[in-house]
A and B are shown apart, each in its own frame.
Chain A
Amino acid sequence: MIGGLFIYNHKGEVLISRVYRDDIGRNAVDAFRVNVIHARQQVRSPVTNIARTSFFHVKRSNIWLAAVTKQNVNAAMVFEFLYKMCDVMTAYFGKISEENIKNNFVLIYELLDEILDFGYPQNSETGALKTFITQTGIKSQSKEEQSQITSQVTGQIGWRREGIKYRRNELFLDVLESVNLLMSPQGQVLSAHVSGRVVMKSYLSGMPECKFGMNDKIVIDKQGKGGASEEAAAGKSDLGGSGGGGGKQSIAIDDCTFHQCVRLSKFDAERSISFIPPDGECELMRYRTTKDIILPFRVIPLVREVGRTKLEVKVVIKSNFKPSLLAQKIEVRIPTPLNTSGVQVICMKGKAKYKASENAIVWKIKRMAGMKESQISAEIELLPTNDKKKWARPPISMNFEVPFAPSGLKVRYLKVFEPKLNYSDHDVIKWVRYIGRSGIYETRC
């Protein structure tokens, strides 16, 4: 199990050091500093073995977090734990920075004592932790409150406390997708996938039982034509969003993972998604699709080398969704060779600039409607070099945001039942939003 946990600043000074196991000595702190932080080179592996001691490390801005062990630990668990620890710290004091860590070091020690016992991760749900690690002492708690805390921390529903009350029962669903593409210069899709998340923000009283439904192909096919009536029955809770491609009834989900509140065995058996949500925000589900993806933009590059000292670049982007929808925050990044001496750009729309420090032409367009196209052309002057190595031609990448789900996913319903309290599914105000963003959206040139 985890033998110790260290946090360093970028200089390698220790900010937090907590040792859980006897086999980890103080010298481990220095070993990591010397061998990894001060090595001043790209990290070649996130797991480093120094003198039979293994260091698992992640970096957040310029802060290093390292978990140390001498045993054959579950490596995936250690990294998951480090990420979780970052989440918990962020939830308590915001950004993970040297200053914040120093200002909250007592709190961090208290958290580390609670979420890691003898190197075994314990309940690390922020919702539960915040009930009793407050930095104000807990003498004011009554006996009932204490036992409520402990039963929540250890209980089956460790992520939600009892007795939550809201005057207005409300929930927000965000379907956030990032669409990834790798395209050949000729316009052939080399790989494309959507990784999506359903984020739920709920303000519901009591212990609500929720059931979430979407246009999952497996479910729709199972229901057959009878499915239409069920959709009608869902009535008001028809939350279907405005799709960009339109017309697609159901989507094939390659794989999905769920927040720990979702009953996995039920999903496995019936493919229904039922859960009692944590209060406030949680990531209900992650999923991945690869079939029938709506690619919101197509990038058509044209690079011509004119002699040894000049490059001509022309890039056309085409938007491929309903004309009534607007894409935002569009940014096209065209890499330029290292020996670029000057660039002239002409673009039809938006603004384009050559950024020498980033070795790229960055073309920004605020808004663009569907089924439009726009073009940029640039002349790149090169300094003559005798470098034998050819320019690697990194791919042209793109960023954007569109108001639909490129996978075609639609929320069909989210039903809420709270038998003990007197509110029904109809009383809950529900909001659904679809946002599609670019992930790694690249076209080779």
Chain B
Amino acid sequence: MEWANQLCENRQFGSKMTDSKYFTTTKKGEIFELKAELNSDKKEKKKEAVKKVIASMTVGKDVSALFPDVVNCMQTDNLELKKLVYLYLMNYAKSQPDMAIMAVNTFVKDCEDPNPLIRALAVRTMGCIRVDKITEYLCEPLRKCLKDEDPYVRKTAAVCVAKLHDINAQLVEDQGFLDTLKDLISDSNPMVVANAVAALSEIAESHPNSNLLDLNPQSINKLLTALNECTEWGQIFILDCLANYTPRDDRESQSICERVTPRLSHANSAVVLSAVKVLMKFMEMLPKDLDYYGTLLKKLAPPLVTLLSAEPELQYVALRNINLIVQKRPEILKHEMKVFFVKYNDPIYVKLEKLDIMIRLASQANIAQVLAELKEYATEVDVDFVRKAVRAIGRCAIKVEQSAERCVSTLLDLIQTKVNYVVQEAIVVIKDIFRKYPNKYESVIATLCENLDSLDEPEARAAMIWIVGEYAERIDNADELLESFLEGFHDESTQVQLQLLTAIVKLFLKKPTETQELVQQVLSLATQDSDNPDLRDRGYIYWRLLSTDPVAAKEVVLAEKPLISEETDLIEPTLLEELICHIGTLASVYHKPPSAFVEGSRGVMHKRLPARTGSGEGTECPDVGNAAGGSAPEAAPSIIPSQGDLLGDLLNLDLAPPTTTGPTPSTSGMQMGGMDLLGGGLESLMDESEPLGGDIGGSPAMGAGFGAAPAVMPASLNAPVGGGLGDLFDLGGGVGMPMGAYIPPKTVWLPAMKAKGLEISGTFARRAGVIQMELVLTNKAMSVMTDFAIQFNRNSFGLAPAGPLQVLTPLGPNQTIEVSLPLSTVGPVMKMDPLNNLQVAVKNNIDVFYFSCQYPISMLFVEDGKMERQVFLATWKDIPNDNESQFQIQDCHLNSEAASNKLQGSNIFTIAKRTVEGQDMLYMSIKLSNGIWVLAELKVQAGNPNYTISLKCRAPEVSQCVFQCYEAVLKN
């Protein structure tokens, strides 16, 4: 309002003084006065009045009362005035639909004006007036304008179709505008083509299944031709549209890439980024050994670096995208580390992003430079930036082993600065370095302890407590240190409380004599005085463990921790693929799929990179196909974190674990995703006592299942083995996993009679993508057994132990121990008869014993065994009929749905279902760990307990075993 005042003074209005006086009156008077001016005979006065109205509108005043008066000014030769009136109309027509109709005549008339600029203006404005009655009148003029002789009118009309579609999609379809729009793609004028492409792309987003854009080699060729001729913006529309196309084969892919690469030299960064998107996507299809592939990789680096000399906002967009590109194809920018060095005057958002990319590019070759830079950054002013720099030093240590020592000494230097947040951040990362390189840098603990008092952030406190607990035996006053934390126990955050609890229990197990009081104190604080269920539960577990079986407690609490991995914050691969398809857009800036921030259905279709196949049907599906399967992949990105979260929530195991630790295969997450996450997670927790033990000891990895590494039992603490642990955890046998993998019951493999008193029974299981041999060893002899080891003979699928047999405690007379042995499938191969036979040798201090057992072949079914429909069809046809074998499964009372679910648990995937005359035909695929595919057709007749199954496989020998699995799985 104030500036509207000034505005009247600044502009050369006829009577300045009176105007300013007038603006000081009440609002009511103002409207009244404007009304009079709008109806003035003098053109100049009228125009000035409209300008005042627009000024008021801009500052948010309601001037809708003037609607009829403003509309009256519409019929004028003065284009400037006309445009102002149109601006007013676009704003207020919706609130005054009845009066807006008054304007229609002028619009229709203007659409016939001899001046193309006026025709275009009319059709452009009409499309912005979202009033149904007006829309009806719009159709005829629009139809004419779409075929106007003047390209300026046509390009405006093309966009108008998108506007109309936004108001009334049905109308656009009924009126056939979509076809006219498609024709415009072949227009002679490049700008018309570009706008038509933009409009069609937008409309296609809300009709994911329509073949609106109809991209085929011919239309692509037209677009590529227009690309050379249209404006920078048009080039962006066309490139973004091209990125949605999936070429038929690698040759087409290459020829498109060749025609897109010149755009990398465009001055407009958006053109460059959109071109990069097309190239990154189509490159997927090129064979890696192709010369052109290498050329293309080389061509991508310079333009990406050039983006960094753009204005800071664009640099930010570019850096967010480079972050994705570096994760997808690290080779492109691996030599360009220096350009990501932070400049003193970079805005903070550019600095933080550069730092991220520096860590990703850090390698042995450039680590010295990187560390020198990071050290500089750690002395800057911005707290966030400094913290991130310190954290980055820690990540370098974990990523590049050779640099670890220098990183640690750099961190120690930083701790000496005594800058509070630097010290805290350094301690957090040093904890990770301890985890990664155990028993290497513990000499620095003393320095860390000096800074104990200055730590006031939970994460740093928890990290420090963890360090004290973990190395309690080397810190003389560990008990005093921990005790000092205990005083304010209830004021600490949960993270610190949990860590303190664990640390004191560790301390107790290491120095039991002096710390009994301390541990009792913390246990009672945790279990009796706390409202936090996580804390109470952990407290009770420890309490019970310690009171019933200190040895087991030691095994659990002081278990060896799995190593932490190098890359901690990589974007999950499916999400990364999707984001690569969105390079340059907001999704790539947020690093989130569009569905996470776009409302409604528009533009949230999931995109995928094309598969790298030479040619054929395999490549056809991605764009059309993924629309149908839209919801399934949607869940995928969140699954792995949520599994981790679940564990984190239940036990809050570690110091806000930054890592997905250890060898947990990602596929396990996918499989779990299908079922109720909580239920499944809980059951598998109960079922696997050993991994849980490992967790309590501080590892976030649950699926790893390498079990607890037992410590040597000191004589003073000797207590009966077995019992407590079993009570608490041995629920595994009783609780079934409704949809988990089928696990056969344990059988005796080696009777005690044959093995001088050692009895071995066991079974096989596949858990979280890891094959495990679960053994129960019982000592039925009179003497203690030690020094267990296991070996397999060569076998059909290369099964071999992935680690030593973890029976490190001596097995006393009449004792039993359960061990689970992870297996790999990379051992030596020899065909066995029967195929699934396994010959095993077990050694102990007495002798070596041999036995053989048979494993269900379903252990070898891998999690990514779901075939694409088309591929299934082609493969089924491809396998000769001789390889087909048929079996009957009798007395099975499941319906096809339940059967399919059950089989899925064992990685037998139903791909399609067909119902013919009451008979369900299920088509399934299985992939064995050695890459053999088995295709199956299962016929289920309602009411008939007998199933028929046909198996097709290129290696027909496996069919018999696979059939046995079907039977076992379905009947259990």
Contact = CB atoms under 8 A, between A and B. Distances in A.
A and B co-occur in one complex:
yes
Interface of A: 1, 13-17, 19-23, 26, 29, 42-47, 49, 52, 54, 56-58, 69-77, 79-83, 98-99, 102-103, 105-106, 109-110, 113, 117-118, 120-125, 132, 135-139, 141, 143, 146-147, 149-151, 153-156, 158, 182, 190-191, 193, 195, 254-260, 263-265, 267-268, 283, 286, 288, 388-390, 392-395, 397, 440, 442, 444
Nearest to A76: B270
Contacts of A122: 155, 191, 195, 231, 233
Contact of A58 (B152, B266, B313, B602): B313
Contacts of B232: 80, 260
Interface secondary structure of A, over-half rule? mixed
Contact of A265 (B60, B262, B343): B262
Contact of A22 (B130, B190, B261, B585): B130
Contact of A117 (B124, B229, B268): B124
B192 interface: yes
Contacts of B598: 52, 70-72
6 contacts: A79-B317, A150-B150, A255-B265, A256-B306, A286-B309, A390-B417
Interface stretch (B72-80, B714-722, B767-775, B946-954): B72-80
A182 B232 CA distance: 34
A14 B58 contact: yes
Given A13-B59, A288-B306, A257 B266 contact: yes
Interface in B424-467: none
Contact of A257 (B87, B190, B265, B344): B265
Contacts of B418: 388
A44 B348 contact: yes
Given A257-B303, A395-B344, 5 more contacts: A71-B586, A72-B582, A150-B153, A442-B344, A444-B376
Nearest to B125: A113
B10 A99 contact: yes
Contacts of B192: 154
Given A74-B584, A254-B305, A393-B379, A49 B228 contact: no
* Across the A-B interface, the 8 shortest Cβ-Cβ residue pairs: A255-B302, A150-B152, A76-B270, A268-B262, A77-B270, A264-B262, A46-B313, A72-B594
A135 B230 CA distance: 27
A272 B837 CA distance: 70
B151 A154 contact: yes
A389 B421 CA distance: 11
A73 B313 contact: no
B586 A73 contact: yes
Nearest to A189: B338
Given A17-B58, A79-B317, A154-B192, A258 B78 contact: no
Contacts of A268: 261-262, 265
A120 B116 contact: no
B597 A49 contact: yes
Contact of B347 (A43, A47, A54, A132): A43
B585 A137 contact: no
Contacts of A22: 130, 166
Interface stretch (B156-164, B214-222, B357-365, B541-549): B156-164
B59 A265 contact: no
B117 interface: yes
Interface in B559-592: 582, 584-590
Interface in B689-731: none
B155 A154 contact: yes
A258 B265 contact: yes
B313 A79 contact: yes
Contact of B79 (A23, A71, A137): A137
Interface of B: 2-3, 6-7, 10-11, 51, 54-55, 58-60, 77-80, 83-84, 86-87, 91, 114-117, 120, 124, 127-128, 130, 150-153, 155-156, 159-160, 162-163, 166, 189-192, 195, 198, 202, 228-233, 236-237, 240, 259, 261-263, 265-270, 272-274, 302-303, 305-306, 309, 311-314, 316-318, 338-339, 341, 343-345, 347-349, 369, 373, 376, 379-381, 417-419, 582, 584-590, 594, 597-599, 602-604
Contacts of A42: 347-348
A78 to B, nearest CB: 8
Given A123-B231, A394-B344, A72 B312 contact: no
B54 to A, nearest CB: 7
Given A120-B195, A132-B117, A191 B309 contact: no
Nearest to A157: B229
Contact of B51 (A13, A70, A106, A151): A106
B266 A105 contact: no
Contact of B198 (A120, A147, A153, A397): A120
B312 A121 contact: no
Contacts of A57: 313
B316 A102 contact: no
B83 A109 contact: yes
Contacts of A182: 341, 343
A17 B57 CA distance: 9
A304 B349 CA distance: 34
A259 B380 contact: no
Nearest to A132: B117
Contacts of A43: 347, 349
B191 A267 contact: no
A153 B152 contact: yes
B152 A154 contact: yes
Contact of B599 (A52, A132, A444): A52
Given A72-B603, A138-B117, A14 B349 contact: no
A106 B584 contact: no
A351 to B, nearest CB: 25
Nearest to A260: B232
A260 B232 CA distance: 7
Given A22-B166, A73-B586, A76-B270, A158 B347 contact: no
Nearest to A73: B586
Contacts of A156: 190, 229-230
B236 A113 contact: no
Given A79-B311, A118-B162, A390-B379, A255 B306 contact: yes
A143 B117 CA distance: 11
A44 B79 contact: no
A58 B315 CA distance: 13
Contacts of A121: 233
Given A15-B58, A265-B228, A74 B270 contact: yes
B309 A195 contact: yes
Given A106-B54, A442-B344, A257 B267 contact: yes
A259 B267 contact: yes
B380 A137 contact: no
A96 to B, nearest CB: 14
A390 to B, nearest CB: 6
A226 to B, nearest CB: 26
Nearest to B50: A106
Contacts of A80: 232, 268-270, 314
Contacts of A149: 117, 152
A45 B266 contact: no
Contacts of A158: 191, 231
A123 B194 CA distance: 11
Nearest to B597: A52
A102 B7 contact: yes
Given A105-B54, A109-B87, A255-B303, A74 B60 contact: no
Contacts of B376: 444
A252 to B, nearest CB: 11
A258 B77 CA distance: 41
A389 B386 CA distance: 13
A302 to B, nearest CB: 19
A125 B231 CA distance: 9
Given A120-B233, A288-B305, A103 B10 contact: yes
B10 A392 contact: no
Most chain A beta carbons < 10 A, residue from B236, B265, B273: B265
Contact of B83 (A45, A113, A141, A146): A113
